[in-house]
Structure 1
Amino acid sequence: MTDSSLHLGNGGGLVERSPVLAWAKRALTMAPAAARRSPPRFFGTLVFFVALIVLTVRGAALLKDADTLWHVFVGTGILETGRFPTVDTASWTMAGTPWIAKEWLSQVILAAAQRAGGWPLVALTAAAAAALALALIAREAATRLPPAIAALIAAAAFTLVAGHTLARPHVLAWPVMIGWTIVLMRAAEDGRAPSPFAAILMALWANLHGSYLFGLALIPAFGLEALLRAPAGRRTETALGWLLILVLAPAATMAHAYGPGALFAAGKVLGLGSAAAFVAEWAPTDLGRLSGGKIAILAGIAALVLSPGRLPPIRVALLIGLLDMAVSHERHLAMLGLIAPLILIEPIAERAGAGRAEGDQTGGRLSGFGLYAAGAAALAALAFTGMAALGALTTRPDLLPIAALDAAKAAGVTGQVFNEYEFGGTLITRGIPTYIDGRTELYGPERLTTYVAATGVSTPGTLEKVLSDSRIGWTLLRPDQPAAALLDHLPGWHRIYGDEVAVVHKRIP
C-alpha cells in the first residue's frame, strides 16, 4: 500500500487523520535511543551510601517480618549439614512431603550474616542489597538525566518500596533484577541483542528468589522493542541474538541446587490463587488508603496519561502489566516501584531535552571535591548514626510470641499446636512442629482455605473440625482472631495465657 492510497480526497492522509494509525506508525518506526553519557564519578557510590544510611537508621523495620526467622533457620541448616532439604521436617501436618528451599542462596546469605554478626548484620545485609538496587537505578538515570533528577528518581523508588524492604530473599534479589532489566533495556534501546553472558544473571536470580520468572517475561517484551528500533539491515541478526538469549536465560535458571525443580516450585506459588489472599503480601492492594503503593499506582497511571507520544508502545504494555500485578497482589508493588522508574528514564529524558550526546555535561556533573565530601559525610553518618541504631537491634519482640511460648512450656502443654500463620517462623526456630507457616506453596490452597475458615470462624464448624484432630493439644493464635475468642467458650479448652501478641489455649482431657 502506497502513501497515496491512504489519502481520502482533500481531507489529508488517513494516517495523519487517524490517531490509532498514527500511533501504530510510530510504534513500527522506532529509532534507536539517544546516546548515553557517563554518569559523574562515584555518583552511584554516593547514592548507595545515602540509601544505606536511611535504611540502616530504620533497621528495626527490616526485621518486622517473622518469616525472616524460618529463612535464616533453613539457611543455617544448609550451612551446618551441607545438604539441601528435599522434604518438610518443620511441620507436623506436612511432615515428609516433598519441599525444596528454592531460595537457598538468599537463605544461606542471611544465615551467614546472622552467624557472623547477629540480627544487626542480617538487617544490614538486606539494607545493602536494597541500597545497591537504588544506586543502580540512579546511575542508569544519570546516563540521560542530570544527577539531581537521577537522585530524585531513586528517592521516589525508595519511597515506593520502603514498606517492602525486609530481611527476606526478595530484597537480596533486587540488585540482580535491576541489573538484568538494565541489560535488556539498553540492548532494546540500541536496537541490538544483549550479550549471551547476561544469562548468568538469570542463574543468580533463580537461586536467590522465585521472582526470576518475571525476568524471563521481560525478554520477549524488550526483544520486540529491539527489533522495532534496529536498522532494517540488522533486524535478522538482532532477532537471532534475542532468540539466543530467549533460550539461554531459561536454561541458565536450571543451574540451581534443585535443577528444574525450582521452576516447578515457583509455579506452585503462583498456583495458590485466591487461597493465599489472607497473607497481607498476596492480598489485592488496598486503594482506599493513602500509601506508598497507592502513590506508585497513581504515578504509573500518570505516566501513561502524560507521555502518550513519548513512551514506546512496548513500555506502555510493560507499565500496564506492572500496574496489573501491583493491583492484584501487594507484594508486587515493589516490582512496580523499582522497574517503572527504569522504563520511564528515556521518555523523561526526551521531555527534559537531556541525554542527547556526550558533549554538554557541565550543568549536571558534580565536582570531584563535592563527591568526596558528600561521600565522607555519608560514611561518617553511617558510622555514628546507622551503626548506633543497629547496635541494639534484634528481632522484633513486639511481633513474636516469645512470652506465650514460655508460658505454654511452663504449663506443660503436650501434643501438636494449631498455630497462627505469622507465628510459624518462631515455632520453627524453637523446634516446635507447625500446623502452618510462611511456606505457602507447601500447604497448598486446600489447607490454606481451611486455616482461614477456622481462624476467622467464617464457616461454622470448621474450627471444631480442625480441633477434633486428637493430635492437637494446644493453640497459639493472635488475640484479635475470632477463633481465639471462640476457644474461650469451647468445651474441652482452657485459656492459659494471653497478651497483646498471642493467646494460648490448652486442651483439657
Structure 2
Amino acid sequence: MECHATPVSTPALAWRWPPFALLAALLGFLFPLVHRPLLLDGDTYWHLAAGRWMLAHQAIPHTDVFSATMPGAPWVAHEWLSEVLMAAAFSAAGWGGLMLLCGAALAATLGLTSHYLQRHLAQPAPLVCTTLVAACIVPSLFARPHLLALVPLCAWCVALLTARDAGRAPSWRWLALMALWANLHGSFVLGLALAGVLALEALAATPAPRGPALRQWSLFLLGAAAVAMCTPFGWRSLWHPFQLMQPALTATVAEWQPPNFNHLQPLTLALLTLLYTALTRPLRMPPARVFMLLALLYMALKHSRHQMIAGLVGALVLAAPLGLALGRPGAPHADGARAQGASAWRAWGAVLLAMALLAAGLRLAMPPQRGDDQATPMTALAQVPPALLSQPVFNSYEFGGYLIYRQLRPYIDGRADMYGSDFVLAYLAAFQPDRAAFEQATDRYGVRWALIAADSHPMLYLLDTLPHWRRLYGDRVAVVYVRQP
C-alpha cells in the first residue's frame, strides 16, 4: 500500500514543533556532557592521535604511521574528517571540548528527528519515538566518528523521505551532504542503500509512464555514488566499509557481537512498542519500507552497534505510516494563535539556548579528570622505565589506542582492518593464550614488555609461569611484564 504524508504548510506547523524539537536538542546536548562512558572507549585515543597527526602534518596518511608491527602498511583512514574535527575540539578545549562536540552532534540528531516526527505524529507519539531513538543510541554513545556521522545519516533520511512524501526525487543539493558524510564515516554506504530502496518504491508507486521518475532517481543515485568517491581514497571509499565486516576483524570487539537479550535492550523496547501499535492500529506500509525495516532489524540483531541505526532510521521510516494509523496534529486557523505560537517559539528558544550555553560554560570550567579506567592504563604505563617504553610491546587490544595517544607504538590497536585478518587471527591465538603462538609472535617482533588488561586472567597466568617473563607492576586496570634477556 502506498503511503504519502498529507501536505501541511510550514507556517501552520511552525508554532507546534519548535519547542519540542528544541527541548529534544537541548537534552541531546546535555547528556553527553555528563555521560561518563562517553570517554571510556579505547578507540577515542587513536582517533584523537590520528587527527592530531593530520593537523600537524597537513596531510592525510595512506600508510600506517603508528604501530610497531605494521609500519608503512596501507591504511585507509576513511574517518579522517571526523578525526580532524575531534582533534581540533580537543586542542581547543581539552576533554571538555570533545564532549561539547559530541553533545552538538547528538543535539542535532535528536532535534532533526523530533522535528520530522512531529510533522507526522501527534503527541505523545513523537515523545515516545524520540525517547526510543535516544535509548537505542546511548549504548553506543562514545566519542568516536560514528557519533558525528549520526547527523548526516538523520538529515539524509529526512531529505529522502520528505522527497518521497512529496512524490518527487530528492534535490541535487543533498549530494553535498553525501560528500561530507563519506569523509566522516563509512556508514555513508547505508545512505546509498536507503536511496536505492526508496527509488524502487518511487518507481513502483508511479503510474505509467515511469520514464521521468526512473530518470530523476537514477541520476540522483549516480550522483550520490559519484560524490561518495570524492574522498582522499577515491573508489576505495565505497569498498572499504565492507572490508570492516570480516568476521576475523570483528571477533574481539564487543559492539560487533549480537545484543545480549538476557539484559534489557533498547531494541527490545522499540520492537515491543512497534508490535503493540501494529496489533492495535491499522498500520500499513509499502513493501519497500517493510524491507528496509527488516534489513535494519537484521543488522541490529547481528551486531549490537547497529541498534542505534535501526532505532534512528526505523523511527524516521515509520513516521508517515504511523501518522496515518494514529492521526496527525491539526493545524490552527486563527492568526492570533499563530502569533502567540511564534512568541512562544522565541521564548522557548531563548531559554533553551541560555541553558545550553550555561552547561557548555560549566563543562569547560570543570573539565573531566582522566585517570585509570578500562581504556586508560595511566598508572601502569607510568611504572614502565623510559628506556623500555621505546622497545616493542605486546598489548591488550583495548590499550592500543592509549599507547598511540601517548606516542608509543602498539602491537595492535582498533584499526583491525589495517592489520588484516591473518594478523588478527594470529594475535587472537597468542592471546587465548597459546604458548607457542605467543612465543612465536613475541620473537618475531622482538617484544620486550607487555601491557595486559587486569581481567585477562588466562593471559596473566601464562606470563606468570613463563620463565623469561617477570611481572613489573599490576593494578585493577593493567599488569606490566618485562621480558628477561
TM-score normalised over the length of structure 2 = 0.90
Q: Distance in 2 between matches of 1:362 and 1:383?
A: 32
Q: Distance in 1 between matches of 2:193 and 2:131?
A: 27
Q: Say if 1:276 and 1:445, in contact at 8 Å, map to a contact too.
A: no
- Note the residue ranges of structure 1 that are not aligned, 5 or more in a row: 1-25
Q: Percent of aligned positions with the same letter in both sequences?
A: 34
Q: Distance in 2 between matches of 1:289 and 1:410?
A: 44
2:218 aligns with 243
Cα deviation 1:438-494 (Å, max 9, x = unaligned): 11110112222222232232x563323323336000111101112122211111000
Q: Say if 1:37 and 1:355, in contact at 8 Å, map to a contact too.
A: no
Structure 2 residue identity aligned to 1:438: G
Q: Distance in 2 between matches of 1:306 and 1:318?
A: 22
- Note the C-alpha offset of 1:316: 1.1
Residue 495 of structure 1 aligns to a residue in which SS? strand
Structure 1 residue identity aligned to 2:186: G
Q: Quick check: 1:471 aligned with 2:446?
A: yes
The 1:426/1:264 distance shift into structure 2, 3 A limit, reads same
Q: Say if 1:64 and 1:395, in contact at 8 Å, map to a contact too.
A: no
Picking from 406, 413, 418, the partner of 1:430 is: 406
Q: Distance in 2 between matches of 1:234 and 1:35?
A: 24
Q: Distance in 2 between matches of 1:366 and 1:445?
A: 62
The 1:299/1:434 distance shift into structure 2, 3 A limit, reads farther
Q: Say if 1:300 and 1:323, in contact at 8 Å, map to a contact too.
A: no
Residue 191 of structure 1 aligns to a residue in which SS? coil
1:450 aligns with 426
2:31 aligns with 54
Q: Say if 2:389 and 2:408, in contact at 8 Å, map to a contact too.
A: no
Cα deviation 1:59-79 (Å, max 9, x = unaligned): x33212121111111111111
Cα deviation 1:344-385 (Å, max 9, x = unaligned): 111211122216878699999983444444444434443445
1:34 aligns with 6
Superposed counterparts of 1:118-133, under 5 Å: 118-133=94-109
Residue 418 of structure 1 aligns to a residue in which SS? strand
Q: Say if 1:52 and 1:128, in contact at 8 Å, map to a contact too.
A: yes
1:18 aligns with none
Picking from 107, 116, 119, the partner of 1:143 is: 119
Picking from 338, 350, 366, the partner of 2:324 is: 350
Q: Say if 1:283 and 1:330, in contact at 8 Å, map to a contact too.
A: yes
Superposed counterparts of 1:30-179, under 5 Å: 30=2, 32-38=4-10, 39-41=13-15, 42-43=18-19, 44-58=21-35, 60-146=36-122, 148-179=124-155
Q: Distance in 2 between matches of 1:362 and 1:192?
A: 34
Q: Say if 1:57 and 1:386, in contact at 8 Å, map to a contact too.
A: no
Structure 2 residue identity aligned to 1:269: L
Structure 1 residue identity aligned to 2:161: M
1:367 aligns with 341
Q: Say if 2:95 and 2:367, in contact at 8 Å, map to a contact too.
A: no
2:236 aligns with 261
What value does the CA root-mean-square deviation take over the aligned residues?
Answer: 2.7
Q: Distance in 2 between matches of 1:505 and 1:177?
A: 44
Structure 2 residue identity aligned to 1:145: L
Superposed counterparts of 1:289-308, under 5 Å: 289-299=263-273
1:287 aligns with 261
1:506 aligns with 482
1:312 aligns with 286
- Note the residue ranges of structure 2 that are not aligned, 5 or more in a row: none
The 1:228/1:364 distance shift into structure 2, 3 A limit, reads farther
Q: Distance in 1 between matches of 2:330 and 2:172?
A: 28
Residue 168 of structure 2 aligns to a residue in which SS? coil
Q: Distance in 1 between matches of 2:84 and 2:296?
A: 30
- Note the C-alpha offset of 1:163: 1.9
Picking from 388, 397, 421, the partner of 2:372 is: 397
- Note the C-alpha offset of 1:395: 4.4
Residue 497 of structure 1 aligns to a residue in which SS? strand
Q: Distance in 1 between matches of 2:123 and 2:186?
A: 33
1:216 aligns with 192
Residue 337 of structure 1 aligns to a residue in which SS? helix
- Note the C-alpha offset of 1:425: 1.1
The 1:160/1:253 distance shift into structure 2, 3 A limit, reads same
Q: Distance in 2 between matches of 1:46 and 1:266?
A: 34
Q: Distance in 2 between matches of 1:83 and 1:91?
A: 18
Number of equivalences? 477
The 1:225/1:100 distance shift into structure 2, 3 A limit, reads same
